[in-house]
Amino acid sequence: MKVLGIASITAAQERAETGSKQIDEILEKIEGQAVAVGAVAKQAAEARQFLVDVLRNDSSLRVVEYAGLYFAKESRTKLKRLAVKQHIEWWEKNKDSIP
């Protein structure tokens, strides 16, 4: 068995500590990114809910048409702009499964 000197052991400990610090920094970055992704997902859900509220409640056909267009893009459906009932049904069915 090879016996390591104090200098070798110290150097190995320093490398391990450096590696551990780097891992901690990476984990902090990942956690920060997860928070940012969560915030974006929340904003997207709020935007979709706003569009559904417009589809349900606005009296302007043009406004409803644009809300339907943007909702279809956001939800990645192929529904027509003025398919209000289908947009709302899709939302009610899928809103809890969308981040």
pTM score of the predicted model? 0.67
pLDDT of amino acid 1: 56
pLDDT of amino acid 67: 95
pLDDT of amino acid 94: 92
Residue 68, in any domain of the structure: yes
Residue 39 tokens read as 């915030």
**Distance between CA atoms of 37 and 63, rounded to whole angstroms?**
29
Instruction: Give residue 11's domain range.
Output: 6-97
Residue 1, in any domain of the structure: no
Residue 65, in any domain of the structure: yes
Residue 51, in any domain of the structure: yes
Q: 76: left (phi > 0), else alpha (psi -120 to 50), else beta?
A: left
- 52-64, pLDDT tens digit by residue? 999 999 999 999 9
- Which regions in the chain score pLDDT beneath 50? none
3-class secondary structure, 36: helix
What DSSP line would sit under the chain, residue for residue? -PPPPHHHHHHHHHHHHHHHHHHHHHHHHHHHHHHHHHHHHHHHHHHHHHHHHHHHH---HHHHHHHHHHHHHHHT----TT-HHHHHHHHHHHGGG--
Residue 22, in any domain of the structure: yes
Residue 89, in any domain of the structure: yes
Residue 35, in any domain of the structure: yes
**How many domains is the chain built from?**
1
